[in-house]
Structure 1
Amino acid sequence: MAFLDKIIPPAFSLDGSVPGRKTLTLTGDWTVNSAESAERLLGSIDLAPDQVVCIDISRIESLDTSGAWLVHRFRGGLEFGGKRTELIGLDEKRKVLFRELEKHHPPAWKPERQRFSIVGFLEATGRVGVDAVKDGLAMLNILGTLGAVLATVLPHPKRLRSISVAVQFDRSCIGGVPIVALMSFLIGAIISQQGGFYLKQFGVEVYVVDLAGILILREMGVILTAIMVAGRSGSAFTAELGSMRMQEEVDALHVIGMSVTEVLVLPRILALMIALPILTFISDISALFGAGLVTWSYLDIPPQAFLVQLQAAISTKTLMVGLVKAPFMALIVGLIACVEGLKVEGSSESLGRHTTMSVVKAIFLVIVVDGVFAIFFAAIGV
């Protein structure tokens, strides 16, 4: 504090004795400690546009890089406005300082212009392919580690963190029931309304029950639920693990000798694999309920006739085809969410980017897995 009391406030004086020429003499201390007041001081200087300005710094008591940069920037602003300037009163040390400032002056910003080229397109495609392979290897790594942890946990069930599984199940399943039920109800109603609108033209509107039942139970129920879980729980997993990475909690687990997969990954994936079949069943019931209401109000098919036609159109096998897919989709969503969360670096920008990538990749792979199952069930005649 005693050092700050010795600072001489920056000041200036103007000498206009020579016509068309002004001499600006700077005095006081021009250092980092007085930079704020010096900047306000330079901003208050008003000079005529047709004058030559000589900036005299010989009477400055103390000058460091911050003060020199303010003087250099002020001089550049005058020259940009059309004035001629001269810097006088320089000793050898200050000449070196201002010469270095000239060398490190930031270049003018130029927008990047990227022209399309075959080489650039192939390079970008190759990079995307390499990133996809790295993501696949990371998922296989997590999957292998998960298998090793399960082999250790199953003989010793007490090692399974049942409280963590229950907490994650509550967040993934119980917390997601309202939105899954509402969205499925609306989707079932839309399918029945659109199907009934076109089938009614041919007088076979009763077959909308077959259409809605088979489509919802085999495909739409599980896909819709998996997509909503990927957007809701998958992004939450990525954000939680990414936040732990940013706060170095994951590194702390490594330091104390605990398995990250056993502590963080296994409870989340296990809870998701239990939750998704339950949510899929709730989604199927909600969608069929919405379809039944629409067929009753729009197509005059009473609930009893809807149930009879639905029972004739579907079977237990139809329901099981959709439910069998759910654990595999949950595994995909959980693996991608955990992989992306553990890839987060130490910035909020990285956290947001990986959370977005987690949702996009999970939705994409959910649809791919559903297509693989569709081909498999068609091949075995189910």
Structure 2
Amino acid sequence: MTAAAAVAGDEARIDSSVERDVTTLRLAGPWITRTAAPLDHDLAALVRKHPGGTVVLDLSGVSVLDTVGAWLVHRTQEDLATGGATVRVEGVSADQKGLLEAVSRVERDVPVKHPDRNILYDLALRTGKSTYHFRDEALALLSFLGMLVVKSLRALLHPGRIRFIALAHNIETTGLNAMPIVGLLSFLIGVVLAYQGADQLARFGAQIFVVNLLGVSVLRELGGLITAIIVAGRSGSAFTAQIGTMQVNQEVDAMETLGLDPIDVLVIPRVFALAITLPLLTFYASMMAIFGGALMSYFVLDISAAQFLQQFKAAIGVNTFWVGMVKAPVFAFAIAMVGCYEGLKVSGSAESVGRLTTQSVVVSIFLVIVLDALFSILFATLGI
């Protein structure tokens, strides 16, 4: 039985003969990539038809053998052995022998040893590593905070060091451009808060106190907190992505080579801009939330604008307003600090930019909530 594969300029073939229960497959011609497809078909047919016994693969007639051809020979040898045949390879030159051995080593499966796993041990190990990582990150961020405070005070004492063009640009991007999303979300939060409050207070016939609920919750807590969270997700992540991209492009290294301080050039304008815009955004967000609540009160509770303002004036003092506003610069400093710190940590890969941008948002929101809790404890202690 003979199977042949015609190839331009040469012929690769497989001659099969049987003598005394020994099947000899004589391989001839160039066994290379361009002849592999028809040879693969013929070899598969021979393996399917072979009943077993002894098979000799004779390579003495092979003129050229490359990696693909060696792989075909090795695969045929493995398939025949799997089918129960005893396979010998003969007529192999020194070069062909080395190539066949190399293919055999690559094809050989390396057994994987699965170590014994202890779930509690793994949990303790991960917890310990996370604790050490948290400690190191906290210390590094605290060190960056100290350096940033020193350089911020130096910039305030020497205003000529402040880059006012960069400051104005960052005020626009973090403040003016954020007004639509902050205003819309705050308005909707005011609507929801008034509606839910009215639904609960209606059980006691005290719907008018929805004004108290709205004013105190928005001015003391929600206005500043929601604005800070929105800005952390919007502007804080932008700081990390911008500075991180500059790190990847080695622009920060170029600044240092020119004798420029990246903190003065990149960080200080962003910190000062956010410290200016976040209190203004907090005031704007609080007014939009109260407006949304007033609108809902008018349509649902039939509380007129005059009644709303009168009750609001009686229920809300100046301290309530300042309690919410005094948090905003602290939130702004924390968000800008974390965003710039994570950006400066970026290494030379795009994956690092995405990972640290995500980490910037998470850490910023975490710090904002922690600071808000500390402010609440402080104000409660002071009786404000």
Q: Report whether the alignment pairs 1:183 with 2:185.
A: yes
Shift of 1:98: 3.5
Which amino acid in the other structure matches residue 215 of structure 1? S
Structure 1: state its 5+ residue gaps: 1-7
Instruction: Report the equivalent of 1:50.
Output: 49
Contact 2:43 2:76 in 1 (8 A): no
Give the alignment's TM-score, normalised by structure 2.
Answer: 0.84
Q: Partner letter of residue 13 of structure 1?
A: R
Change in CA separation of 1:255 and 1:305 when aligned onto 2, cut-off 3 Å:
same
- Residue 323 (structure 2) pairs with residue 321 (structure 1): yes
Unaligned 5+ residue runs, structure 2? 1-7
The 8 Å contact of residues 31 and 69 in structure 2, kept in 1 or not, is answered as no
2:283 pairs with 1:281: yes
Cα displacement (A) at 1:119: 2.3
Q: Residue in 2 aligned with 1:351? A: 353
Q: Where do 1:242-321 residues align within 5 Å?
A: 242-321=244-323
Q: Matched residues, percent identical?
A: 37
Query: Once superposed, what is the RMSD of the aligned Cα atoms?
Result: 3.2
Contact 2:74-2:103 within 8 A present in 1 as well: no
The 1:165–1:122 alpha-carbon spacing in structure 2 relative to 1, beyond 3 Å, is same
Question: What is the total number of aligned residue pairs between the two structures?
Answer: 369
Given that 1:50 and 1:83 are in contact with CA atoms closer than 8 Å, whether structure 2 keeps it comes out as no
The amino acid that maps onto 2:164 is: S
Matched-pair contact (CA < 8 Å) for 2:327–2:372 = yes
Change in 2 beyond 3 A, CA 1:314/1:349? same
Using the size of structure 1 for normalisation, the TM-score is 0.84
* Larger deviation, residues 122-131 vs 282-291: 122-131
CA displacement at 1:301 relative to structure 2: 0.8
The CA distance in 2 between the partners of 1:325 and 1:345, in whole Å, is 33
Instruction: Point out the more displaced range, 296-305 or 261-270.
Output: 261-270
- For residues 328 and 10 of structure 2, the distance between their equivalents in structure 1, rounded to whole angstroms, comes to 72
Q: Distance in 2 between matches of 1:307 and 1:112?
A: 71
Task: State the Cα deviation string for residues 87-115 of structure 1 (Å, max 9, x = none).
Answer: 55433344334434444557479898995
Q: Is the 8 A contact 2:12 2:35 kept in 1?
A: no
SS at match of 1:15: strand
Change (3 A) 1:204 1:151: closer
Moved more, 347-356 or 285-294: 347-356
Where does residue 12 of structure 1 map in the other structure? 12
Q: Specify the code of the residue in structure 1 equivalent to 2:13.
A: S
Q: Is the 8 A contact 2:70 2:99 kept in 1?
A: no
Distance change >3 Å, CA 62–CA 161, structure 1 → 2: farther
- State the 1:38 CA deviation: 6.2
CA distance in 1, matches of 2:78, 2:326: 71
Distance in 2 between residues matched to 1:235 and 1:181, nearest whole Å: 20
Change in 2 beyond 3 A, CA 1:241/1:29: farther
- Assess, with a 3 A threshold, how the Cα gap between structure 1 residues 9 and 177 changes in structure 2: closer, same or farther: farther
Aligned-partner residue type, residue 289 of structure 1: F
- In the TM superposition, 1:30-41 aligns within 5 A as 30=32, 37=34
1:14-66: CA deviation from partner (whole Å, max 9, x where unpaired): 22344995737364484xxxx6x4665666556222337866655666656x5
1:172 aligns with 2:169: no
